[in-house]
Structure 1
C-alpha cells in the first residue's frame, strides 16, 4: 500500500480517535471505530474526495453512531454504574478549560444520556467546531434538523454539567488534599474536603468488587473510603499496591497499581470552593487497558 494512500489517514488518526472516544466513551470501542473507518477508506473510491479530513471524520462519525446504538443496548444491562474508560492526558489539557471539560468523566457521563444523533452533533459542533452544514452532510440530514438536534443537545448538557468547577490550579490543589485524605484513611479530613451532597460512582462492571449503586452524602462516602484504605483488593495485598498521580481525562487523578498493572483509578470533580462534589472510581479491568498501555488522548 502506497504512502500516499495511507498518509491522509495517518495524518488524521488522532483526530478520528478523539471524535470516536467522545462518541463511545471507551478507548477499545473508539479504536475499533477508527479501524472500521480505515477499512472503509481503503476499500472505497477516493477519486472524488476533495477533503480527506472531512471525509474521514464523516466515516468515523457514522461508524461510531452504529456502534453507539448497539452499545447503548448493552449498557442497559451493565452491572452497576457505567463509567467511561479513563485515559491519560497531559497537564496541558488540564489547563485548557474547554478541552478538559470535553473529555472529563462528568461530561462523558452526561453525553451518555443523549440520543446517538444528539451526541454526534454535540461532539462535532461543540467540541470540534464543525459548522452545521458540514455536520448535516456528514450525517446525511438536513441542516435544519441538525440545528434542532444541536440545540436540544446543548440545552440538555448545560442543564446537567457541573456548574461551579474550580480553575486548574485550585482544582489540582483541592484534588491533592482529597487524595491525601483518602490515602491516610482520615475520616475527619475526608469530611472537610467533601461537599455535603457529594456523590460517588464506582464501575467494576460485575467483574471485580465495587458498589453496584451510587453512594451519596459526605458522611457515607467518607466512611466508605476510610474503610477500604489499607485493605486487600481482588487478591492484591496493600503492601503490593502502588499509588501514583497522573492526569486522566483532563483532571488530576490517582492510579492504584498492583503487581500486574492498574487495578483502579480515582478522579474527582471539584467546585469553586475547593470541595469534592463527585468521585469516579473505575476498576473494571476492561476499562484499564489503555491506561496499562500508556495510551494518551491528545485532542
Structure 2
C-alpha cells in the first residue's frame, strides 16, 4: 500500500492544476445538485399531508368570526353548532361531485400546526381554542369545484370556503420550475465533471505509461495498477464533497433558519434532517461520479 499511496501523491502533484479544476467543477455541480434535493424536499414540505387528497376546505365559524371582512354565514359571538356541523357534513357528502369529506377538529388542526411549524419561534403563540375546525373535501373531478364551493358557501355555520388548488398551484408551479431547473443545471455540470475526471485520469496514465509497462512486465494485477488512479479521483471527490456539504449546511443555517423561517413564518420549511439528507445524497453522487469514469478510463487506457 505504501507504493500505491506514493504513486497517488505523485499523480496529484503532477496534475495539480487539473485536480483543482476537477474539484472546482465537482463542487459547483454537487452544490447545485444538493440545492435541487433541498428544493424537492421543500416542495413536499409545503404540500403537506393534505394537498394531494384535498381540493376544497370549508372553514367553520368561531366566536370571533362575525364582524370580520369574511365572516360568511356566522352569527355574532357564536361558533358553528353541532347541528349546523352535521348538516354541513351531510350536504357535502350528498353532493355527487364530492368523493370524500374529512373533518379536522380544532385539536387536529392544532396538532398539525405544531408538527408543521415545530421549528418556528411562534410555535407556542396559539392554543387549541384559537384554532378553526373545518371540513376538507376531495372531489370526484377537481375541475368541477364551482358547484361545491357555491353550495358550501351558502350553508349556515360556514365562514369561508377555500379552493386550495387555486391558491397553491401558482406557488408550486414556481417551485417545480425552480427545482427542475436546478436539477438540469446540476446534471450538465455533473456530466462536465465526469468528463473532466476521465480526461485527468487519461493524462495521468499517459505520463506514467513507462511505470505501467514495467508493472505489467513484473506481473502486477489490473487492480494494483488501477488503484492509484482511483485514489486520485476519490481524493478530488472527497474534497469537493466536504466543500459542497459545508456550503449546503451553511446556506440552510443562514438563509433558511436565520432568515426565511423568521420572515415567512406561515410557510412550512425543511428541517435539519432534510438538509443532512441532501448532504448524504451529494456524498453518494460524488463518490459514484469519481469511481465510474475512473474505471471506464483505466480499462481503456491502461493497456500497454
Taking structure 2 as the reference length, the TM-score comes to 0.21
Larger Rg: 2
Taking structure 1 as the reference length, the TM-score comes to 0.21
Higher strand share goes to which structure? Answer: 1
**Which is bigger in relative contact order (C-alpha 8 A, separation at least 6)?**
2
